[in-house]
Structures are given as C-alpha cells and as structure tokens.
Amino acid sequence: MNKNIFSIDIVEQLQQIIKTYPQDKIFVLADENTAKYCFPIISKAFNFDPIVIETPIGEKNKNIQTATFLWEFLSNHNADRKSLLINLGGGFITDLGGFVASTFQRGIDFINIPTTLLAQVDASIGGKNGVNLNDIKNQIGSFKYPIVNLISTTFLETLPKRQLVAGFAEVVKHALISSENEWNKIRFSNPEFLDFRFLQNIVEDSAGIKLSFVKSDPEEKGIREALNFGHTVGHALETFLTRKGVDILHGEAVAIGLIAELFLSNRVFTFDFKKLFGIAEYIATYFPSFDLHYDDYEAIYEIMKHDKKNKENKIRFSLLKDIGHIEVNQVCEKEDVFEALNFYFQVKK
C-alpha cells in the first residue's frame, strides 16, 4: 500500500532509503526537464553518482517502445532484483517508471518523487502503473506500489504556471468526490496564484483523499472507480485532440471532463443545477478552452468505448448524486454525452 511522506526537504528521507541498496544498483529515471531542474534538488542525498536514465518529454513517449528501451538499459547496466528505480517526474514518469520496475525481472523496488501538482495529488498514488497503446491511455499496465512517495512542493516552484494550473483539476476532482467541506476549502482559490505554504496543505489534503479511496479498494474493483470522475470524457478528449496535433495537458482535458460529467450527473441523479453551474463556471474561469465541433463528437464517443471501466459493451461513468456522494458504474445514453459536450461549450462562451 502507498506510503506518502510530505516534506519541504526530502533529502534526509531519500538518504535513509538509498543506503539500504548497493550504490551500483540505484537508478534515477527522469525526463529532460526533471533531469535539469529537479535532479539538482535531490542530488545532495547521494555521496556517489547514481545512474541517471533520461527520457524525452511528452505523453507520446509513454509507450511500450520507451519501456523496452528502459528494460534494455537496466539489463545492460546489470540491474537485478536488488536494484532500486527512483522515478523523478510527473505522471508520465511515475506511470512509466512504475510499470518498468514492476515488470523488470518480475519486479524491482521503486520509489516515486513526483514533481508536478498532478502527480503529487494523483498520478503517483495508488499503485497503478502503465503505458499507452496506439495513443489510447494506459491500456497496458500493472498494479504495484512504490516503497514510498516522497512529496515536496519545492518541486512545484520549477513548474510553468500552465502545468501548475492543469494539475489543479485533480485537486478539484478530489474535493468534489470527498465532501462539501473539501470543496469549500478550495472553491475560492485562484490556481494561477497559489501561496506555496497553502499549496502544501492542499497537496496533503488532496493526496489523502485519493489514498482513502485506494485503501478502500486497492485493485479498483468497486468504489475506487470514483477517482475516474471526469476521466471518461477527459481521457477521450485528450486522445482525440492529441491525434489532431493539439497541445493539451492531461489536467486540462480532465477539467473539461469534470464539467461534462457534472452535466451527466444532473441528467442521471438530478445533481443540483445551481451547484453544477457554479462549479462549471469556476473551472471555466481558470482552465483553457479548446475548439471542438459537433462533427467531432462521434469520434470522441468511439474513443470512450476503449475505456477500461466499460462492461458489457457499455460506457461506464462515475457520477455525483451530490458533492461527496458518488455512484460508480453508471451508463449514459450517447445523446446525453453529446449534450454534455454542448453544455461545456455553453459554459465557456
């Protein structure tokens, strides 16, 4: 099960972990940005030079080809069952690194040091690791928990503002599936201008919400599917727009998904429309919009058919009866999904 350690300075905690592994068996996985901006922050933990594996940036590289490169790298550098892989990066790195570690020689130890807001509150937590298949997100994967997640908001100071805001979509999602109290804590926050001390509290609260769902359902066979709220539509939009060459971040797609799935919550459970519109306006204020046309909806719907939650050839959603009251495994008609996308564009006008 996930163990999260929150600290502004994680060097001491990292030192305690790495001293139990042979120095020549410690590997650090980073992308081009985290190797440049984040590795210097943790380098003080090492009194030797760890083996750093650097990957290209971008979700398009979260695939089996990159995983194969990493397996071969580990093999060529004599990694074995006593090795440790340190995943230093955002969700791309923690998903990919966790998958590679969980499958190399049937599994080696790994830790996550998430460096984006999205990864700190969501992607690094829960033991779900994976790669994309033909640009469909996370089709190949495994369940294996890191030894620990070392979480420090210090890394967030290295992020472009767009990345920080995008990650806040997962904070909003966690608040909505948790309670009115959690939503009220953040509903007046401007994610573009967050005080980093306040952000530390947000990260701990939001990560704690995700962990509570994970503990209740470790292998996602029931209530843990609540964490997919906003993601059925969000993942499909992310895949569709990426195929068209549009630069969209995961959190930006999830933000659209939250609005659309709140609309579906109103259709299925009569989720309060005043609350729906207030939440939708909040999201629309801080997250960017993307051009879509009605003619695109059919292709987006087809992508939804590949969602892992689907059963009996029906697309399944996690929807809200009210804030903090979520029902998983809900079926919606295609026409309602199309209307939900229309609602998003009405809110953005």
Based on the residue annotation, tell me whether 201 is a catalytic residue of this protein: no
**Mean pLDDT, residues 155-170 taken together:** 94
Catalytic option among 137, 235, 275, 316 = 235
Catalytic option among 4, 33, 87, 128 = 128
Rounded to whole angstroms, the Cα distance separating 292 from 290 reads 6
Catalytic option among 220, 225, 252, 261 = 220
Does position 137 have pLDDT exceeding 70, yes or no? Answer: yes
Catalytic option among 231, 275, 309, 316 = 231
Catalytic option among 224, 275, 309, 316 = 224
Rounded to whole angstroms, the Cα distance separating 219 from 81 reads 24
**Mean pLDDT, residues 185-193 taken together:** 92
pLDDT tens-place string over residues 260-301: 999 999 999 999 999 999 999 999 999 999 988 999 999 999
Closest CA to 100 of 49, 35, 135, 55: 55
Based on the residue annotation, tell me whether 77 is a catalytic residue of this protein: no
Based on the residue annotation, tell me whether 306 is a catalytic residue of this protein: no
- pTM, two decimals, is 0.93
Angle at 187 between CA 183 and CA 188, to 5 degrees: 150
Residue 211: CA count within 13 A, CB half-sphere: 18
Based on the residue annotation, tell me whether 342 is a catalytic residue of this protein: no
Measure Cα distances from 38 to 35, 111, 115, 157, 207 in Å: 6, 15, 8, 10, 21
- Provide the 10 A C-beta neighbour count for residue 7: 14
Going along the chain from its start, the domains and CATH numbers come out as 4-158 (3.40.50.1970), 161-348 (1.20.1090.10)
Which has more pLDDT, 196 or 326? Answer: 326
pLDDT tens-place string over residues 293-324: 999 999 999 999 988 888 878 999 999 999 99
Q: How confident is the model at residue 1 (pLDDT cuts 50, 70, 90)?
A: low
Closest CA to 156 of 97, 202, 211, 214: 202
Does position 89 have pLDDT exceeding 90, yes or no? Answer: yes
Catalytic option among 76, 106, 311, 335 = 106
Based on the residue annotation, tell me whether 78 is a catalytic residue of this protein: no
Q: Alpha-carbon Rg of the chain, whole angstroms?
A: 20
Type of residue at 126? G
Based on the residue annotation, tell me whether 316 is a catalytic residue of this protein: no
Q: Tell me, what's the pLDDT at 300?
A: 97
Q: Tell me, what's the pLDDT at 8?
A: 86
Percentage above 70 pLDDT, the chain: 99
Q: What is the mean pLDDT of the chain?
A: 94
Catalytic option among 129, 132, 170, 252 = 170
Does position 196 have pLDDT exceeding 80, yes or no? Answer: no
Based on the residue annotation, tell me whether 325 is a catalytic residue of this protein: no
Measure Cα distances from 175 to 7, 186, 243 in Å: 22, 8, 31
Rounded to whole angstroms, the Cα distance separating 212 from 218 reads 10
Q: Tell me, what's the pLDDT at 292?
A: 87
**Mean pLDDT, residues 104-109 taken together:** 97
Type of residue at 32? E
Which has more pLDDT, 137 or 51? Answer: 51
Does position 17 have pLDDT exceeding 70, yes or no? Answer: yes
Query: Three-state SS across the chain?
Result: CCCEEECCCCHHHHHHHHCCCCHHHEEEEEEHHHHHHCHHHHHHHCCCCCEEEEECCCHHHCEHHHHHHHHHHHHHCCCCCCCEEEEEECHHHHHHHHHHHHHHHHCCEEEEEECCHHHHHHHCCCCEEEEEECCEEEEEEEECCCCCEEECHHHHHHCCHHHHHHHHHHHHHHHHHHCHHHHHHHCCCCCCCCCHHHHHHHHHHHHHHHHHHHHHCCCCCCHHHHHHCCHHHHHHHHHHHHHCCCCCCHHHHHHHHHHHHHHHHHHHHCCCHHHHHHHHHHHHHHCCCCCCCHHHHHHHHHHHCCCCCCECCECEEEEEEECCEEEEEEECCHHHHHHHHHHHHHHHC
Based on the residue annotation, tell me whether 224 is a catalytic residue of this protein: yes
Q: Tell me, what's the pLDDT at 197?
A: 73
Based on the residue annotation, tell me whether 267 is a catalytic residue of this protein: no
Catalytic option among 25, 228, 252, 266 = 228
Does position 349 have pLDDT exceeding 80, yes or no? Answer: no
**Mean pLDDT, residues 22-27 taken together:** 97
